[in-house]
Chains A and B, each alone.
Chain A
Amino acid sequence: MKKIDYTLFFIFIILYSFGLLWQFSASGVELIIYGKMETFIRFLIYSIISIAAMFVFIFIPKKFFIKYARLIFYISFLLLILVYIPFLSPNTEYRRWISLFGLSFQPSELFKLALIIFASYILSKDYFLWEKGRDLFPLISLAFIGVMLIIFETDFSTSVLTYLIFLSLLFVGTYKTKHFYIPFSLLIFAPVFVFLKKDWLNRIIGTLYPFKMITQEGYQIVQSLIAIGSGGLFGSGYMNGKQKFLYVPLVSKDFIFSLICEETGLIGGAVVIFVYFLLLVRGYSISMKVSDVFFKILSFGITTHIFAQAIIVIGVNLGLFPVTGLTLPFISYGGSSLLINGIEAGILLNISRFVE
C-alpha cells in the first residue's frame, strides 16, 4: 500500500488552521460583547472530531463503501424526510436541522456526501457491467427527490449545489450523453423555485443592486464588501477587523471569507482561494491518476463538492452570487459541514494511496 498524498494532507491542515485562526478572530466579538468564547470552543471541538474522522476514513477499505453506499444513501434520504417531523426540527422557519438530545445535525450535509458515494458506486458499476444505464433511472430519480426535499426545507442553495455536484458526476461518469443532458435540462426549472419563498427573490435583487438596498437585502452584501474593500491589499491585521463587530451578520458562518480579507487583505484572501484551487488540482489529479473507476468518480465528486462550495461561498462574499446558507469548507462554523468535510478529506487521502 502506498503512502497518502502529503501535499493534499498539508492542504487540509492549512484549511483547518485557517478555520481555527479566523474562528478565533471572529470569537473576539463574542468575548468582548458577551464575555464568552462558546462559539470558538465548539468550533475547536468540531474540528477535533472532524480531523479524527479524517484519520479514520483514510483507512477504511474500498469494499466498505461499495457494501454500504446504498445503505448510507437511504439513511441520509430518510434523515432528509425526518426534518419535516416538527418535534425533531425546532426551527420552524428553516427546517434544515434535526435536533435530538441536544445535538443537532443538518441532514442535507450528509446527503451531499451520501449522494456522491452512491452515485459513484452506481456509475462505476455501470462501467463494469456495461449495462448502459440500467440503474441510472432510480439514481437520478432519488437524487432529484432528495434535492426537492432540500429545497422544501427552504435550503435553495444547498439543493442547487447538491444537484450541480450530481450533474458533474453524471457528466463524468455516464456513457451516453443523454444520461447527462436530460437531468441537466431539468435545471431550467430551478428559477421557478426562486418564487417559492419571497426573500429568495429579494436576495437575488439584493445581489444585483446591493447599494440600493443597503438597509434591506443588500445589507449583508454591502457589509461583506466593506469588509473586503477596507482590507485592501494587506488587510488591517489579524484580530483587527471591525466589520465582525455585528456589522457583517453570521461572520463566523457565511461571511468568514470577508473577515479573512478584512484582516489580511487581498493577499490573505488570495492565499485562501489559492489553497482551494490547489485542492482542486490535487484532487482532480488523484482522480485522473487513480485507476479504480469507483475511486476515480468518488474522488472527483468530493473534490468538486469542496471546491464548488468554496468558490460559491467566496462568490457570495464578493457579491457575485445571492446570499446562501453555505459554509466555507473547513473554515466556516458549522458542526455538520465540518464533520462531512473531515470525512471527505479522509476519503480523498484514502484514495490518494491508490494513485498509480
Chain B
Amino acid sequence: MIKENLQKKKVKINDKIFKVFILFVIVFVIVFFRFFYISVLRGSLLREMGLNQWMESGKVLQAKRGTIFDRNGKILAISIERHKLILNKNQVKDVDVWIDKYSELLNIDKEILREAFSKNKSQVILKDDINREEKKKIEKFLDSTLYFELYYKRVYPYGNLASYLLGIMGVDRGLEGLEYQFDDILKGKDGMIGFMVDALRNEIPGTEFVIKKPENGKDLYLTIDINLQGMLEEELENCYKEYYPRRVIGIIEDVKTGEIISIANIPNFNPNDFDDFSKFSYPDPSYGYNYEPGSSFKPLIASAVLEEKAISEDDEFECRGYIVRDNKTFKCTASHGKQTLKDLLRNSCNVGFIQVGERLNKRLYYYLKLFGVGEKIGLDFPYEGSGDILEPDDWSATTLTTMSFGVGVTVTPLQQTTFYQTIANKGNRLKPQIVKKIVDGDNIIEESKPVLVKKVISEETADTILSYLDYVVSDKGVKSATISGYSIGGKTGTAGVIKDGKYVEGESVLWFIGILSCNNPQYIITIVVDGVRSYDVFASGIAAPVFRKVTEKIINYYGIKEDEEVK
C-alpha cells in the first residue's frame, strides 16, 4: 500500500518536474527569439553603433614624396625613410626603473628622459632621424612603452648644386623653388590609417587598418645636367671668390629644345641645412631678378631694325664720340667714326645704336615684345621676373635713346638667354624647359617637347645677327671669350645696378651671353656678374672669361667637335 502510494507520488513529482521543464522551455524560446532579434534583425544597427565608438581615424600614412632627378637620372632630391622613436608613457609602470633601464639601452641621457616624463603629453618623441640599421638595433628591446613612427626626410645629395632651383622643403610641403612649384605633383596623397580605441579612447594595439592607401608622389626629371651644373657653379664660384660681387649667375640653355641644362647662382645655400637656407632669400635671381641689360641688349635692336628693313646692312652710322638728344649729351666709349651695323655691334657703339633705334622708333617696342621683353617666360617658377619696359605712350624724350643701348629697360638673366636662343635658332623663340618629364612609377605622365612660342624674326635676319655675334667675338673682338676651333658668338654688356629704382653708386652688372657656336648653334651660355664694386671693370674682363671657361667645359664634357670638323 505504502509502496504503491510512493510510486504514485514519484510519478506525481515527475509530472511536476516536467511542468517546470515546460516553463523553462517557454523562457528558453523567449530568450532565443530575443537573441535572434538582437543579433540578426538589429545587428547592423548595433554594429554601426559599435564601429562609431571603436573607430578612430586620423593616423596619417605618409605618402613618399617624389624624387627629383636630373636629365640623366641622378638624384637631386629624395625622401628617405626615417623613424621617430616615441615613448608611450601610459605603458610605463615605474618611471625610475624605466629610465635606468632605457637610458643605457637607448644611449639617451637620464636627464633628457626625465624631462620627457615631465611633459604633459602621453606620447613623447625621444629620438628622430633613426635609420633602418639603428631601428633594427633598438627593435631588439622594444616593448609596449616604445614604438616607431615612420617619416620621410628630404635629402639633397648634391648639396649646394642647383639649390636655388630645387628650393627647399618645409615640414610637410615645399617652401621654395621647384619643391614649392611642383609641390602638388611631388607630394602625393597621404593615406589614412584607422584604428580601434578602448572606451578611454586609447588605441588598442594591433587594430590598425588602412582606410586610404597613400599615393606616393610623382617623380620629376629635370632638364638639368647635374655634372654640367657642377662645372658651371665651380666657375661661378671662382669668379665670385676673385671679385666678390654681390652674386654671379650662370645659365646654359639648349638652343634647339629650349631645355635649361644648368642654372645657377653663387652664392647659394645647402638645402640639407635649413639654417643655411634661411640666410638666403627668394626669388631665384637667375629668373626672378630684373637687370638692365646694357650693351648685351643691342643684338635685339639690330635684329629688329634688320627685320623691319629700316636700314640695310651696308648703311653707315657716324660716331663722333658723343651725341646730343633732348639737351643731354650721350657719350660713347670712343669716337668710332663711320660704321655699318656689324661694326656698331662689334664696337658696342652707343651713339650708333641711338641712331639705329631712331629708325625704328615705336616699332622697336613691337619687336622687343616679340622677343618677350616685359613678359614672364611662363616657366612654372614662383616669383618669376618679367623685366620692365615702358609702353610707347609712356615714353619720355630719352626713353628710346637709352633703350637703344640697353638702359631704361630691364630683363632677367633667363629672358636674356631666350633672346639669344631665338637669334641662334633662326628666329624661333622656344619656351625654356626645366622639367623633362613627370613620372609616376613606371608611367610617364608628362614629357616636355620643344614649344615654339613665336617666330620673332626671319631666319635670314637671325642668321645675319648670328654672324654679327660671331664677328663680335672673333679675331680682335672679345678675346677673352674666344675658343680656338669654335665660332663663338656673343655680346658683352655693362649696366648699373638698380636698387629700389635708383642706381647704386660704384657698382655694375656685367653680362656676357655667348653662343656655342655660331656655325652650329647648340648652347646659349649666359653669365651675369651682379654688383661688381667698380666702374673700371668691363664685361669682357670678368664675365667673358667665365663664359669661356664654362664653354670649354661643355665642349669637353659633351665632346663637341670643332666647327671645321662639323663641316
Contacts and interface: CB of A to CB of B under 8 A. Distances in A.
B53 interface: yes
Interface in B16-46: 16-21, 24, 27-28, 30-32, 34-36, 38-40, 42-46
B6 interface: yes
Interface centre among B6, B20, B49 (most CB of A within 10 A): B20
Given A229-B45, A230-B43, A245 B196 contact: yes
B21 A229 contact: no
A247 B54 CA distance: 9
A190 interface: no
Contact of A172 (B20, B30, B31, B38): B20
Contacts of A227: 50
A230 B50 contact: yes
B14 interface: yes
Interface residues of A, number: 51
A265 to B, nearest CB: 7
A275 to B, nearest CB: 12
Contact of A245 (B6, B31, B198): B198
Given A127-B9, A233-B40, A246 B35 contact: no
Contacts of A231: 39, 43
Interface stretch (A45-53, A140-148, A287-295): A287-295
Nearest to B201: A246
Contacts of A300: 17, 20
A311 interface: yes
A230 B38 CA distance: 9
A194 B199 CA distance: 31
A233 B20 CA distance: 31
B50 A243 contact: yes
Contacts of A293: 6, 9-10, 13
Contacts of A304: 20
Interface string A317-353: 0111000000000000000000000000000000000
B324 interface: no
B6 A229 contact: no
B50 A280 contact: no
B93 interface: yes
Nearest to A244: B198
A245 B18 CA distance: 42
A106 interface: no
Contact of B42 (A35, A229, A297, A315): A229
Given A32-B205, A127-B9, A245-B198, A172 B16 contact: yes
A256 interface: no
Contacts of A277: 28
B91 interface: yes
A65 interface: no
A273 interface: yes
A60 to B, nearest CB: 23
Given A228-B46, A311-B27, A168 B20 contact: yes
B28 A246 contact: no
A153 B196 CA distance: 39
A298 B42 CA distance: 41
Interface of B: prevailing SS: helix
B20 A228 contact: no
A308 B200 CA distance: 35
B202 to A, nearest CB: 7
Contacts of A314: 31, 35
B213 interface: no
Contacts of B204: 32, 242, 245
Nearest to A297: B13
A311 B35 contact: no
B6 A127 contact: yes
A329 B28 CA distance: 16
Nearest to A232: B43
A266 interface: yes
A152 to B, nearest CB: 28
Given A232-B40, A245-B199, A304-B20, A320 B13 contact: no
A232 B47 contact: yes
A246 B200 contact: yes
A318 B10 contact: no
B38 A228 contact: yes
Contact of A232 (B20, B39, B199): B39
Contact of B144 (A35, A230, A318): A35
B40 A266 contact: yes
Contact of B198 (A33, A266, A287): A33
A245 to B, nearest CB: 4
A319 B39 CA distance: 12
A222 B19 CA distance: 34
13 contacts: A33-B202, A127-B6, A225-B42, A226-B49, A230-B51, A232-B39, A242-B204, A266-B35, A273-B31, A287-B17, A307-B24, A318-B35, A320-B34
Interface of A: 29, 32-33, 35, 127, 168, 171-173, 175, 222, 225-233, 242-243, 245-247, 261, 265-266, 269-270, 273, 277, 280-281, 284, 287-288, 291, 293, 296-297, 300, 304, 307-308, 311, 314-315, 318-320
5 tightest A-B contacts by CB? A229-B46, A245-B198, A246-B199, A230-B47, A230-B50
Given A225-B42, A266-B36, 6 more contacts: A127-B9, A227-B50, A247-B54, A261-B35, A277-B28, A320-B30
